Amino acid sequence: MFRPPRLPFGLSSRCRTYATRKPEKPPARFPDPLKNDSNAVVTVLQDDSNLTFIYRPPPSVPSPHSTTLDPASPLLKSPTPSNGSGGPFPPLLRPSSYKPEPERVSREVIEKIRELRLSEPGTYSRTKLAKMFNCTPNFISKIAALRRPQRKQFRGKLEAEHVAVRERWGERKATVVAIRQKRREFW
């Protein structure tokens, strides 16, 4: 039940209060990170010195130094067996990673895609074929790549459209895009 803020009993009889007073909040108590650390290893010495050793590993990147006797890359070591007892993993970066992989297409379907794509690349575009056969446009590019002159032609058309769009940008937009591209170089 909501209790309106009141002064303590002794004071309320002696002085005026106002309804516009700000509500009193209890003093903020923050959990001590030194006490609430799950990574800390606490060792209490049993002898009469009464000492407690607390080891807290730093939250920093593991050392990149790698030698052939103790490689830092798991590719050079045998893979850890992935059973259920490994514990929960951090979440995947993108929501689309949680979608199941589509079924692998069969050889006949690949031949069909190649036939359609190479016969009429204008009508049978990558996105259209991807929708027809339930795969991705990049997959279509890989299995049914066009000849080099045709690829150049399509790329030239696309580039011309993009250039036309870029011409219509104002100075501010062009500057922002240039800054973003420059930032990308420093990744």
Partner 1 sequence: MGHVSRRLSSSLAVSTAHLKHFPPREATLRTKKATFDPETWAALQPPPPSALMAFANRIGLRAVLTTPTAVQRACTHKSFLDLHARYYPLSPPPPNNANLAVLGNALMGLFASEHLHATYPHLPTRVLKAAVSAHVGPLTCAGVAQEMGAVPLLRWHRQPATPTSPALLHSEALASIPRALAALVYQERCLASARKFVHSFFLNRRVDVRAMLKFRDPKRALMETVAKFQREPPKSRLLKETGRFSNSPIFVVGIYTGADKLGEGFGSSLKMAEYRAAEDALHRLYLTRTPPHVLKLPSSTFGEHADIYKLTDAAPYSPGELGESEALYASSGRSGVLAPRRRAPEVES
The total of other beta-carbon atoms located within 10 Å of residue 28's CB is 5
Closest listed residue to residue 121, CA positions, set 107, 139, 138, 140? 140
> Is residue 56 within 8 Å of residue 36, measured between CB atoms?
no
Under rule CB under 8 A, residue 39 binds partner 1: no
Among 75, 163, 164, 165, binds partner 1 (CB under 8 A): 75
Under rule CB under 8 A, residue 38 binds partner 1: no
Among 69, 163, 164, 165, binds partner 1 (CB under 8 A): 69
Name the DSSP class of 89. P
- State which H helix or E strand residue 143 sits in: helix 137-143
Under rule CB under 8 A, residue 97 binds partner 1: yes
Under rule CB under 8 A, residue 92 binds partner 1: yes
Q: How many residues bind partner 1 (CB under 8 A)?
A: 27
Among 31, 74, 122, 149, binds partner 1 (CB under 8 A): 74
Among 11, 54, 76, 179, binds partner 1 (CB under 8 A): 76
Would the CA dihedral through 146, 151, 153, 154 be positive or negative? positive
Name the residue nearer to partner 1 (CB basis): 132 or 146.
146
